[in-house]
Chains A and B, each alone.
Chain A
């Protein structure tokens, strides 16, 4: 299955990825190749099967809904990783 340039552009937009011309060419081909390979799954009869999303058999793992204070040094270290801060909050570019 060959993906068109528009399809590749659409996927890249959804994935929020800026790609170069060369990358478009390369990934277009490689993705088509991988998808062709994956198509062999269609030969497996899965009519009566449930999908498997997890394998532990655990169900509804609950915890109490209470606030736990994060150690101050770790909280500060985590915030310090942001490129821009103001008043202890992460600053982003104008949205509107």
Chain B
């Protein structure tokens, strides 16, 4: 059997029994990456030599008695996560030549745990997008149908896991960037609570909602990765000293699941059927169904598309052609260095968001846009917190539709923004949320989103594990 198809848990058991080594798994993964990347365009940078060395080191660590949930497990990181000595582009031309001088805290933790970095994954430029099409290096193709998008912005991390190029991938989620591609590619995608894991060493986009999150083959693996990547970090003052995540039980008897039916209005009937089937499954397993109301959740998109561009315009100010990244040599003075380096270096969506954010924050418009959006954000957050006092989790579809055809929506930014309708509320409120495979429509995967209480990822895992015990959707693989 090809070892690249294993889950983290399966691979770990086999390594512990001495049946396989990290070098064996890593070799199979690298072979799969070479075989498929021309079709998928999911990997931007390969770390073949380094990966083989890291795998050998992991095997040596095991031989000397060390154990660990991620020891010797190969993974791929989204290209907006800094990896020391390895090119890190955020899929932007402005960072085309950028070699990260240090590791992101989560990469450092994965390295310490013995995980093996195979390469860097494609994405929407600076994580701006819901399709992967905004990459300066071309769209990622969906392993389930090469003519369709893989979802975004973590398009590459989803495509590499769905095609078994690695055992898991590390993505980032700002307004749905882990959950959307997980839904489009039949994977488990976790957005942890804001403050659960360090953002140090991520290419900043929207600092008030950015979080790193894993994309995995099942829920048990997502829990394994979270347990390694979580925790307080002195380099990120927004991390919280919360109790560590314990391995959860798949028991949901008596737990309450909130269903905001009104919020689903307008969603495709076939998608809704999948959500209703999942609710019925949870009920069968002993959960109690509680109708809830989220009348302001629908304002998540307009709020998100003020707050995000505003923070983007500020965070992307650092790309000025002075200290790193593309610098236009034709510029005649300092101002031209700024304007021309940025004009030539940024792609269309980054420019659009910088412009929108600059406008929203500019004199005379701040109160009408940014301040108003921050107040509606309070309303959305309070509403979710209030409903989560009555229930343990909230269920929604992850996406309003299946993965669309490449090119179909790329010229209509507003339509693309509406893809985030179910995703932005949890991001704005900083709540943990997870997408798990729930079925298929027109032979394409559909995800279910579970939203939990702040720092209570464990309840998400309990529901997710139970669901994956009694369904088989997550075991279905793209035939590529």
Within 8 A of A (CB), among B412-428: 413-414, 417, 428
Residue from B195, B340, B373 in contact with A58 in the complex, judged by beta carbons closer than 8 Å: B195
> Does A17 lie within 8 Å of B194, measured CB to CB?
no
A12 to B372 alpha-carbon distance, docked (Å): 23
Within 8 A of B (CB), among A44-96: 44, 46, 49-56, 58, 61, 63, 71, 74-75, 77-78, 81-83, 90, 92-95
Could you list 23 A-B pairs, sorted by A, with CB under 8 Å? Answer: A3-B359, A10-B362, A14-B362, A16-B320, A17-B343, A18-B344, A27-B355, A30-B414, A34-B417, A38-B369, A44-B296, A46-B372, A52-B374, A55-B428, A56-B238, A61-B237, A74-B84, A74-B101, A74-B102, A77-B99, A77-B101, A77-B102, A83-B322
Within 8 A of A (CB), among B428-469: 428-430, 454
A86 to B137 alpha-carbon distance, docked (Å): 33
> Does A49 lie within 8 Å of B346, measured CB to CB?
no
Name which of B2-10, B47-55, B184-192, B301-309 contacts chain A. Answer: B301-309
Residues on the A chain within 8 Å of B358, using CB: 11, 14-15
> Does B376 lie within 8 Å of A44, measured CB to CB?
yes
Classify chain A: how many residues form its interface, as a range: 35 or more
> Does B334 lie within 8 Å of A37, measured CB to CB?
no
A30 to B353 alpha-carbon distance, docked (Å): 11
Name which of B21-29, B160-168, B169-177, B323-331 contacts chain A. Answer: B323-331
A46 to B383 alpha-carbon distance, docked (Å): 13
Q: B408 near A: Cβ within 8 Å?
A: no
Residues on the A chain within 8 Å of B371, using CB: 51
Shortest B266–chain A CB gap in Å is 15
Chain A residue, CB-CB nearest to B296: A44
Q: B256 near A: Cβ within 8 Å?
A: no
Q: B263 near A: Cβ within 8 Å?
A: no
Chain A residue, CB-CB nearest to B361: A14
Residues on the B chain within 8 Å of A37, using CB: 302, 305, 414
> Does A34 lie within 8 Å of B299, measured CB to CB?
no
Known interface pairs A14-B362, A31-B359, A38-B305; A49-B414 also in contact (CB < 8 Å): no
Q: A23 near B: Cβ within 8 Å?
A: yes
> Does A27 lie within 8 Å of B302, measured CB to CB?
no
Shortest B372–chain A CB gap in Å is 5
> What 1/0 flags go to B306-350 for Cβ under 8 Å of A?
100000010001001111110101011111111110111010100
A83 to B85 alpha-carbon distance, docked (Å): 18
A34 to B355 alpha-carbon distance, docked (Å): 12
Residues on the B chain within 8 Å of A15, using CB: 313, 342, 354-355, 358
Residue from B329, B342, B351 in contact with A23 in the complex, judged by beta carbons closer than 8 Å: B351
A61 to B100 alpha-carbon distance, docked (Å): 27
Residues on the B chain within 8 Å of A18, using CB: 336, 339-340, 342-344
Residue from A8, A38, A51, A61 in contact with B375 in the complex, judged by beta carbons closer than 8 Å: A51
Main secondary structure of the interface of B (DSSP, over half): helix
Chain B contacts to A: CB under 8 angstroms: 84-85, 98-99, 101-102, 194-195, 208, 234, 237-238, 240, 296, 299, 302-303, 305-306, 313, 317, 320-325, 327, 329, 331-340, 342-344, 346, 348, 351-352, 354-356, 358-359, 362, 369, 371-379, 381, 413-414, 417, 428-430, 454
- Which of B334, B355, B377, B417 has the largest number of chain A CB atoms within 10 A? B355
Known interface pairs A63-B234, A82-B324, A94-B334; A41-B372 also in contact (CB < 8 Å): yes
Residues on the A chain within 8 Å of B305, using CB: 34, 37-38
Shortest B128–chain A CB gap in Å is 13
Residues on the B chain within 8 Å of A14, using CB: 358, 362
Within 8 A of B (CB), among A1-35: 3, 8, 10-12, 14-20, 23, 26-27, 30-31, 33-35
> Does A30 lie within 8 Å of B98, measured CB to CB?
no
Residue from B238, B348, B355, B378 in contact with A31 in the complex, judged by beta carbons closer than 8 Å: B355
A46 to B359 alpha-carbon distance, docked (Å): 22
Shortest A91–chain B CB gap in Å is 9
Chain A residue, CB-CB nearest to B306: A38
> Does B302 lie within 8 Å of A38, measured CB to CB?
yes
Residue from B195, B323, B362, B414 in contact with A90 in the complex, judged by beta carbons closer than 8 Å: B323
A56 to B317 alpha-carbon distance, docked (Å): 25
Chain B residue, CB-CB nearest to A83: B327
A74 to B83 alpha-carbon distance, docked (Å): 12
A41 to B307 alpha-carbon distance, docked (Å): 13
- Which of B317, B336, B378, B429 has the largest number of chain A CB atoms within 10 A? B378
Known interface pairs A14-B358, A51-B377, A58-B240; A40-B322 also in contact (CB < 8 Å): no
Given contacts A16-B335, A17-B346, A51-B375, 20 further A-B contacts (CB under 8 A): A16-B338, A18-B344, A20-B343, A27-B355, A41-B373, A41-B376, A44-B379, A50-B378, A52-B375, A52-B377, A53-B374, A54-B238, A55-B454, A56-B240, A77-B85, A82-B322, A90-B322, A93-B333, A93-B337, A94-B334
